[in-house]
Amino acid sequence: MVGHYYPSSLEETLIELKKNRYQIIAGGTDVLVQYRSWSETVPKVKYPLMFIHHLSELKFMTENVDYIEIGACVTYKDLLSSPLIPKVLKDTIIEIASPGIRHTATLGGNIANASPAADAVCTLIALDAMVVIKSIDSIRTEKIEDFITGVKKTSLKPDEIIYSVKIPNVMSDYACFYKVGGRQADAISKVSLAAVMNATDGRITKWRMAFGAVGPKVMTSLSIDGMMIGKTIEEIKITIPAILEQYSPLINPIDDQRSTAKYRKLVAMNLIQKFIDAIS
Amino acid sequence: MIIKFTLNHQAVTIDTDPSRRLLDVLRVDFNLVGVKEGCGEGECGACSVLINHQVVNSCLVPVGNVHNKDVLTIEGYKLTPKYKIIETAFVDAGAVQCGFCTPGMVMATESLLYQNPHPSDLEIKIALSGNLCRCTGYNMIIEAVKLAVERGEGLW
Ligand SMILES: Cc1cc2nc3c(=O)[nH]c(=O)nc-3n(C[C@H](O)[C@H](O)[C@H](O)COP(=O)(O)OP(=O)(O)OC[C@H]3O[C@@H](n4cnc5c(N)ncnc54)[C@H](O)[C@@H]3O)c2cc1C
Ligand code: FES
Ligand code: FES
């Protein structure tokens, strides 16, 4: 077996990924838990590790009129201290894990890990963000909700890497992230909701919702969201039961060690209502 | 892999498997046993150390990631005047009982005060939110940090 690899550039990484199969490791806060073994032994990884956390090419944050672009290896800590990052994404990040993890964990890791409870993923989907994916001979862009295909599954091929995340550079009238967990810090979401709304003259022009931990991946539906567009905020507020009914098929949680399906469904519905109560 | 980093103010070079946990390297290779293993999965903070002056959970850091970085453990921090302030504040506030969480609490406190010398109560709680203590009940620890802020005025 080839050994772990510590590349000195992105190009070298991509060339090597083309030649051999690796497990990418960024901050390692998911990888080291997932492949954890006994104390004082190395993690039991299936493939040798490709270290990317130090690559400066993956640590940029830029803004143009269309997008805010964030390199895959930017840490939560750096996102929290950047003026470019939308408030709702910062509100989300401050609810992720604890300072020690936020100092090393990356946005790219949260997306590639494809947990149905991934908090940043919820908010990025509600913001219509996209991932930029590179291999040595290709570059492609995909919406995050399409990139993530199931529990811990993505469309990433073995020779590819997440290069960056692009968030449309538009203002939101309302953008909220609600998370329900067992403890305030270090708690994986039992249920979460990221919601974004814009309105002109009281009429909805944009409506996006993404739910965490209620299905095999972060759940979202452009067609259900689309039904809200063109309604007035008043109409939304007086038809809450109908709206909950419309979202209901999207929310199919399971029982697990963190919570029950019944509780999760009820809370998800309450979070939709909470958002509707908040808008005006 | 050859890994070079600064450990407790000294340049060190090791040749080891980069997938090993920083926690194990510190305890086994360098005998820095002030770094504790509690949960081994990022939830208790007993293994907290500083990398480039930011607190991290060393049980979740592959040692490859500290190449060219600066690592500080409680053993290195102990030699500084700031540590003395925190130590006496913890003792005076009754913030230490069994002491298992204490090195981690102290490192998280240094990470906070380095970034923010005058934290609010909420900021202290957030800064220590990744560190569990089974003995004291947290209020004394928060008091200890406040005491250190007061006594260390100008140091951070
Ligand atoms: C105690 C604890 C609490 C946590 N709390 C939360 C929480 O509240 N909310 C939450 O959402 N998450 C939480 N997490 C999960 C984790 O911290 C995040 O998902 C984090 O963002 C992962 O980033 P990382 O850089 O550490 O990823 P890594 O562990 O390095 O990688 C994770 C996965 O992504 C892949 N990967 C990483 N970067 C790339 C890339 N650029 N291209 C392709 N693949 C890549 C890796 O191969 C791996 O499969 C928690 C974890 C712990 C241990
Ligand atoms: S041992 Fe690292 S956080 Fe518990
Ligand atoms: S003093 Fe015992 S765990 Fe904190």
CATH code: domain of residue A134: 3.30.465.10
Confidence of residue A183 (pLDDT cuts 50, 70, 90): confident
- Using the 3D structure, point to which of A153, A168, A183 is the last residue of a domain: A168
Task: State in Å: Cα A167 to ligand 1 middle.
Answer: 19
* Of B18, B37, B127, Cβ closest to residue A39: B37
- CA torsion, points A169, A175, A181, A186, in degrees to nearest 10? 40
Residues A131 and A192 in one domain: no
Is A150 in the same domain as A217? Answer: no
Q: Specify whether the CB–CB gap between A120 and A107 falls below 8 A.
A: yes
The residue of chain A with its CA nearest to that of B26 is A40
Question: How many whole angstroms separate alpha carbon B126 and alpha carbon B103?
Answer: 17
Take atom 4 of ligand 3 and give the residue whose Cα is closest: B133
Quote the CA–CA distance of B18 and B20 in Å, as a whole number. Answer: 5
Protein residues whose CB sits closer than 6 Å to any atom of ligand 3: B 96-101, 133-136
pLDDT at A1 over 70: no
Structural domain count of chain A: 2
Residue A175 scores a pLDDT above 90: yes
Beta carbons of A93 and B40 less than 8 angstroms apart: no
Residues A193 and A258 in one domain: yes
pLDDT in tens, A22-32: 999 999 999 99
pLDDT, mean over chain B? 97
Q: What is the CA radius of gyration of chain B?
A: 15
B148 pLDDT more than 80: yes
Same domain, residue pair A127 and A200: no
For residue B110, the CA-to-ligand 3 centroid distance in Å is 18
d(CA A64, CA B106): 42
**pLDDT for the residue numbered A187:** 86
Interatomic CA distance for residues A126 and B96, integer angstroms: 45
Structure tokens at A139: 């570059």
Instruction: Identify the nearest ligand to the CA of B101 by its number.
Output: 3
Residue A137 shares a structural domain with residue A187: no
Q: Give pTM, 2 decimals.
A: 0.96
Q: H helices within chain B, ranges in order?
A: 22-24, 74-77, 81-92, 102-115, 121-127, 139-151
Longest dimension (CA), chain B: 45
Question: Which of B43, B55, B127 minimises the CB distance to A186?
Answer: B43
Segments forming the whole domain that contains residue A245: 174-278
CA of A199 to the centre of ligand 2 (A): 46
| Least CB–CB distance from B65: residue in A3, A42, A51 | A51
Could you tell which of B43, B61, B131 is best to mutate to test the pocket of ligand 2, judged by most ligand atoms within 8 Å of the CB?
Answer: B43
Check which CATH number belongs to the domain holding A234 and give it.
Answer: 3.30.390.50
Is A213 a member of any domain?
A: yes
Q: Write down the ipTM of this complex.
A: 0.96
Give phi and psi for A95, each to the nearest 5: -90, 0
**Domains, chain B, ranges and CATH?**
2-73 (3.10.20.30), 80-151 (1.10.150.120)
pLDDT of residue A185: 81
- Residue A197 and residue A125 share a domain: no
Asked if A2 reaches chain B (Cβ–Cβ under 8 Å), the answer is no
Q: How is residue B89 written in tokens? A: 């504040």
Tell me, yes or no, whether A187 and A265 share the same domain: yes
**Ramachandran class of A135: left when φ > 0, alpha when ψ lies in -120 to 50, beta otherwise:** beta
Report yes or no on A44 lying in a domain: no
* Whole-number percent of chain B with pLDDT over 90: 99
Query: What is the sign, positive or negative, of the torsion defined by CA atoms of A157, A161, A164, A165?
Result: positive
Closest approach of B55 to chain A, Cα-based (Å):
5
Q: Please name which of A234, A243, A249 lies closest in space to residue A271, comparing C-alpha atoms.
A: A243
Helix axes B81-92, B139-151, angle to 10 degrees: 140
Q: Work out the minimum CA distance from A14 to partner chain B, whole angstroms.
A: 19
Residue B59 beta carbon below 6 angstroms from any ligand 2 atom: yes
Domain co-membership, A73 together with A178: no
Within-domain flag for A37: no
pLDDT at B54: 98
* DSSP state for residue B80 in the 8-state scheme: S
pLDDT the model gives residue B104: 98
Whether residue A62 lies inside any domain: the answer is: yes
Pocket test for ligand 2, best of B25, B49, B59 (most atoms within 8 A of CB): B59
The whole-angstrom separation of Cα B129 and Cα B113 is: 15
Distance A118 CA to ligand 1 centre (A): 9
Pick the range with the lowest mean pLDDT from A101-115, A182-196, A266-280, B103-117. Answer: A182-196
Q: Mind listing the pLDDT tens digit for each residue in A217-231?
A: 999 999 999 999 999
Position A115 in a domain? yes
The chain-wide mean pLDDT, for chain A, equals 96
Residues of A in contact with B21 (CB under 8 A): 32, 43
